[in-house]
Structure 1
């Protein structure tokens, strides 16, 4: 493999980071009398529109520095959408072919985004077969399987180097609560929660990490049972988070609390949050907000002030025909009204019913 080609490829990927501004940390309006601040790290402002841009950049650098990618390597990834969009962007930057293996139920908007970035989509009917299919396809093509679910937690430098955790704390430095009580994230690969959990411990912060998990995902039941072989046998309806089995990148020891979030609650919180922010956010952001609202209500009951941070994982324009479609929600057999009322009650009074 050409060292000269690899050096130039690394320069191109690093240059993308160098010319990209950091993502914003947006305040989410809460009543001043609560004495609690909620912030949303807006990862939708990356060049490819999601949190996964960070992951894709790290995965490419990791693979390049390990000598796994050359000038003729076809890149293959197992992805429900956003990681594939970002990896397709970097593959095209390096002049490489890219194939995303994904569940057939992935939103048409995400498929179009992957194709816009020059990638090809290989759809699989069984969501539990996506990884195995990607492995076989990469082997057949003599390509490289990026394997985000294995390498997410090791490809990012969790001690710093402008990772997402370091960025959050730097942006909170002048706020009244610069050390958050909670950071709330979902788990797809588990890489983001691993990075944040490790960083807070390394920097000796008291911040606790909550991981929210949607229906159909193995992370929450496995965490409850302390059984990491748990498998649900089905995929998540909330794209980008949740997995049928516990992935190697998920590091449960750095997680302080797992929160199970019904899919109807994710969609209700997504829509309510979008109304407050004046812009559409994605379904996994709704999952994050639902978890953050419950923790803030708990802080209120206990009379504790402080700050809570979560993520806008991607924009809602990718889900116009799914999460924002009343017809799609009805076809899924979901009733979001009770959860929407729960969010409305919380935002006006601080009381939390959890949708019950």
Structure 2
């Protein structure tokens, strides 16, 4: 399976299933506790967003979560982490089955995160950008007591503006560099990425979070790229002007979030490295997974408290991950 663009510049296929799960059920999928299952892989940055948001908002009882393994083939993600290789709720071996059940012969990308309607076994949506917003807005009736406001109405325009440039230049920017098929396309993506990281560093130099004085959706989206930067993007995707650990402001910001409940305790560095280095064989033909980098720095002091800010606003931190949803021992930063 090839990932490098044959035309030079990588363009992400963004044709996602647009159905939404809403409080009023206008698309035929009303919010309903226990009805849906969020399918993720801890390896994937887009899915990692949904894992974090679900956890911060305390939606575990309302929305169950299935975790696919870190690798996949052209036929999609598999549930090889589960006994018998099947998701225990959906009873399927591959996420592809849920897509085909709704759209036989589905030809677009079978991606995570995806939300599946458990009674029918059909996929509802894989629109990753919309999923986390809807978890904040449409699922509000099922949020835990003390859940933070990740997408507060008065800050939505600013959050949306930040998310737009972070997606284009950083979240997707690392892929535009890594999957570039020409020197020109690679260098264009490379400079665009680091120019944006420099601007974000300037923005975060005197403010603890990207928007306002609390954690928002914008921080979640930037974090899932930053946490993968040194283990994967710096080497595998040739984003090597600087390591994250060599960008003092962003490194401190990322450590601050990592040490915040709901962020670092969702990160599986083993799955992350296995996914990129084993799956992208046109970039890494041997499939050898690097032994490094040293991850112990993630737990060192960051000093960002001096900037003020209240991580959860008027809310409270989430409780520890529930049994069965913890990152496996030895896969995190310790």
Same fold, judged at TM 0.5 (above): no
Return the structure number with greater helix share: 1
Which structure has the higher relative contact order (CA within 8 Å, separation 6+)? 2
Return the structure number with greater strand share: 1
